[in-house]
Structure 1
């Protein structure tokens, strides 16, 4: 190591060498513990400490991205996405803090915070807006959450205590949840579904054997992965895949939601398939709870005074 690092403690050096060894095992290449890796480790260590503090102080919170009906573009719900806004470090990407939460044992705490705050936020929105048809909130859950003791029972109690009707909560799961212990995962999801909570299979089409999972999983909703939606108007093979997935879902009596819509051309491709939920930057980026009331009011006003197609186009 260079003389610039003379201030490092023995513990820091040991951790650095362990980090280099771990990186080497993962990449299959020789890894030298250099200054760049040292800085990355320092940031990760700081992020772990700040994430722990952020979960306790409200720095980690849900942002909400709207989901609309393709039939009339009415607002039907929101997906809640975890965001970490630090007063000094700024907005930290989920791609950075989610792995830290997983590796440091904070994933269940993070998931519980997002679940609790998402339900509280949607309850406050419905109370404020007086929405006649209750909006749902869709929340991602992790493998660690689902595999924790009595997850289904604890979540049902959390929902009941929140004041949000069970039918207004959706849980999004990915196929990776079923790799290690499919029977346990299915049992937990079946218990939640029997209690009135809807289950959505997220990122459909990107996993291992999606069709075989569909036969066994207790799910209500199929979310089409954005990779099939992006530039679908320029790729006939993607259109064919979208049509096949949509028809399969309808045959299985599953609701369909397409995510990642970014322009009118992609929207038109999906509208041609049939009724479904629509989600993406074309409608809105994820927003904090403080913006939800104004968004819902503006959206409802737009639908009341303009045709849905004109209203949606104006929000591009």
Structure 2
């Protein structure tokens, strides 16, 4: 229980100053998230690219970390960091699929404060295929993001940008922290950074309608419907803590009115300290998660 006690102490320090705080049940949250393990979710993925549906795999990894308020990196010595330490919930999302002869490898990382009522502090995304690679990063500075995009496309090049809005990518972590914290109604959102790698649209805020729908007694659905941006996101999650995400869809509306629906369905989940499982014999854990070799 030492790790849980340290986390709760850090939370108390942060409550003493700073932005408004979310009403999070610290004991309940800590009993699941502060035990030195990550939650790994494996999904079967159908991803649209170049007008065709591709079969692949997605992985969502959720884990809490001690984050530096100043440097926006994981702290090496959080016990002596004092007020620079922030509890964050990190989501790493990976997508892997093949288009014809060549593969795509994509990754998104989102660092959301657990207790401070702000958008994600840092978001990064990378995409690699045989044509080249790109990388984007947004850092929260006050109430706006300062970002950079590095791309092998000439038209995009290396650009700086600013976006003053909530991040769509932050919504995944808000579900896990507590769906009651989701902003509903019309909201300005920065569209997902991985989606931007497909659309190549400028990274600017877009108006979206956010709704939570009751699916049945077990599941709810978050629907993100952009008003003037041809995109909709649906995330299915369990209604009870720890609000596990079981499926998601990303829908693109084409100019001719047809829809491209990318869909992911969870096939396995496990809590594990994966960073210690790096020996040859630990590959059996991939089979337990039904991950591709």
Could you say which structure has the higher helix fraction? Answer: 1
- TM-score, normalised via structure 1 length: 0.33
- TM-score, normalised via structure 2 length: 0.34
Larger-gyration structure (1/2): 1
Could you say which structure has the higher strand fraction? Answer: 2
